Amino acid sequence: MGGGNNQYDLIVIGSGPGGYTAALHAAKLGAKTALIEKADVGGVCLNWGCIPTKAILHSAALYQQTKNARRYGISVDGVTANYPGVVKFSRQTVTRLVKGLTGLIEKSGIDLIRGAAVLAEPTVIDVKLNAPDVDGAVSRRLSAKHLILATGGAARGLPGVAFDGEKVISSREAIVQDQVPARLMIVGAGAIGLEFAEIYATFGAKVTVVEMLDRVLPLEDEEVSAVVRTALLKKKIKIHTGTMMKSLAETADGLSCQLAPVAGGDPLELSVDQVLVAIGVGPVSEGMGLESAGVATDHGFISVDEHLRTSAAGVYAIGDVTGAPQLAHAASAKGIYAVEHALGKTDNRFKGDWIPGAVFTHPQVASVGRTEAALTETGTAYKVGRFPFSASGKAVAEGEIAGFVKVLLCPETGKLLGAHIVGHNASELITSLTLAATHGLTGAQIMQSIHTHPTLSEAIPEAVGDALGLGIHV
Ligand SMILES: Cc1cc2nc3c(=O)[nH]c(=O)nc-3n(C[C@H](O)[C@H](O)[C@H](O)COP(=O)(O)OP(=O)(O)OC[C@H]3O[C@@H](n4cnc5c(N)ncnc54)[C@H](O)[C@@H]3O)c2cc1C
């Protein structure tokens, strides 16, 4: 396929989980592919997001477990945390995975071009190379039959509170800073905000979380939010929901934060050493020539149709730059789909109905499908089933009894409408429910599938059984 040095079947801009997955899939399907990356291979997820945070969270969990080990008959004296070592382990994890991924990309025959791309025409791009190439050229013009935009996202700031990289930071700085702030305020109680709350509280910071909406993890099931809130409070994390951060001033005592209840009432002033803003992720789409190439955007997010095509012929967009759900696996799934559609392998719509999400706090949260609130809002009937981990043999044996599995079934078809888990390893447990939902299995079929004993996963057929009036241990 393809021909000429600068002509490709497919060009992918951005090597995050969306872009690199798309490029690898295209190469497997025999397409002559170029992957353009201006910064780090692996994008935000691998370098600044999913992976480094999970490495730090692993250290946090290990630290906590070791401190609690006496309960399980293990004596460990003098347990201390060396936070620079924690960050070092996290960065080593990233380095190892980036090296592996870069090798995989190069081995697959993809042209990995390091530089910043702008669109000259819909499927013609100019790349400003990060370093001159062997001929001394500093830029290259490339063209392709199809282009995939996978340029990702970046942390949004608070109006009037600029990031300075030291006192007011985003997750990007938090991931690499190797000191734990004594007093930290986190603005935003979504997944990123709470994962850092977990990290810093475990390593000794006094953490305050401020959230504009009325609960932590406001998009999750309400009962799930309540369990997480209790767990955060137990860690001595202070939580102000229904509260806005109004302004910030430097004082002799650090930063003075003015907070105001959304519903009105007395403002609150808090002194902290650092503020981490985690209120959401905006698109990386500016200055790329999108408008002149005819690629429509909405508040910077690239608009796509059900086939992930943009408004410009031959141009697709995937991942964070297209908006919610801003998750790595959503970006990858879209990358695979866009390649298949571009290469004529499918004409079905992109099916993104069952994309799970997870929050790696302790206990973890994971969900797929709709919440009770969303079903109620649309007047959709449902049956609910729950199973608490306090009734699970494996959870009790591991001292991980917080949380539950909750399923929402359609009363007519018996199929899943939503599933919500809060508890140990929820991020792994959600997978079988996602599989069941994706393939339209009924609650009865889920129960027919025999689950290993003793495992946390036994809570799944139990919760389904509860919804059907057939639970064994509830
Ligand atoms: C702290 C944190 C924790 C997270 N944890 C999780 C998690 O546990 N699970 C999960 O699913 N998601 C998580 N996410 C979200 C996840 O990182 C993103 O959803 C994912 O990275 C999006 O992938 P992407 O391919 O769309 O873009 P990105 O990963 O953002 O990659 C885009 C790439 O495009 C490059 N690029 C941009 N413009 C150009 C240009 N003009 N030319 C060349 N290259 C360009 C960028 O340099 C970047 O490398 C987390 C995010 C953060 C910040």
> Residues 208-260: pLDDT tens digits?
999 999 999 999 999 999 999 999 999 999 999 999 999 999 999 899 999 99
Residue identifier of the C-alpha nearest atom 35 of ligand 1: 14
Q: How confident is the model at residue 390 (pLDDT cuts 50, 70, 90)?
A: very high
Residue identifier of the C-alpha nearest atom 34 of ligand 1: 14
pTM: 0.97
Q: Is 334 in the pocket of ligand 1 (CB under 6 A)?
A: no
List phi, psi (to 5°) of 255. -120, 130
> Residues 11-55: pLDDT tens digits?
999 999 999 999 999 999 999 999 999 999 999 999 999 999 999
* 9-40 per-residue burial string, b: 16 or more CB within 10 A, e: under 16: bbbbbbbbbbbbbbbbbbbebebbbbbbbbbe
Which of the listed residues 151, 169, 361 should we mutate to test ligand 1's pocket, taking the one with most ligand atoms within 8 A of CB? 151
Given a cut of 90, whether residue 136 has pLDDT beyond it is: yes
Question: Average per-residue pLDDT in the chain?
Answer: 97
3-state secondary structure labels for all residues of 14-40: CCCHHHHHHHHHHHHCCCCEEEEECCC
Amino acid sitting at position 466: D
Active site residue 453: yes
Q: How confident is the model at residue 3 (pLDDT cuts 50, 70, 90)?
A: very low
| Alpha helix segments (H runs only) across 203-273 | 222-234
Q: Is 192 in the pocket of ligand 1 (CB under 6 A)?
A: yes
Q: Is 332 in the pocket of ligand 1 (CB under 6 A)?
A: no
> Residues 294-305: pLDDT tens digits?
999 999 999 999
Q: Which two tokens stand for residue 323?
A: 């908006």
Which of the listed residues 50, 127, 322 should we mutate to test ligand 1's pocket, taking the one with most ligand atoms within 8 A of CB? 50
Ligand 1 midpoint to CA 255 (Å): 30
Given a cut of 70, whether residue 64 has pLDDT beyond it is: yes
pLDDT at residue 160, as a whole number: 86
Which of the listed residues 35, 45, 47 should we mutate to test ligand 1's pocket, taking the one with most ligand atoms within 8 A of CB? 45
- Using CA atoms, how far apart are residues 131 and 133, in angstroms rounded to an integer? 6
pLDDT at residue 381, as a whole number: 98
Residue identifier of the C-alpha nearest atom 26 of ligand 1: 319
Q: Is 18 in the pocket of ligand 1 (CB under 6 A)?
A: yes
| Range 60-75 average pLDDT | 96
Ligand 1 midpoint to CA 111 (Å): 20
Q: How confident is the model at residue 4 (pLDDT cuts 50, 70, 90)?
A: low
Ligand 1 midpoint to CA 154 (Å): 8
Residue identifier of the C-alpha nearest atom 1 of ligand 1: 49
Given a cut of 90, whether residue 327 has pLDDT beyond it is: yes
Atom number of ligand 1 nearest to Cα 174: 1
- Cβ contact 345:29 at 8 Å: yes
Q: How confident is the model at residue 5 (pLDDT cuts 50, 70, 90)?
A: confident
- Using CA atoms, how far apart are residues 474 and 215, in angstroms rounded to an integer? 28
Atom number of ligand 1 nearest to Cα 175: 1
Among 307, 341, 453, 473, the active-site one is: 453
Q: Is 317 in the pocket of ligand 1 (CB under 6 A)?
A: no
Residues 6+ apart with CB under 8 A from 1: 9, 30, 31, 32
- Using CA atoms, how far apart are residues 164 and 211, in angstroms rounded to an integer? 21
Q: How much of the chain, in percent, has pLDDT values that exceed 70?
A: 99
Ligand 1 midpoint to CA 427 (Å): 19
Atom number of ligand 1 nearest to Cα 325: 19
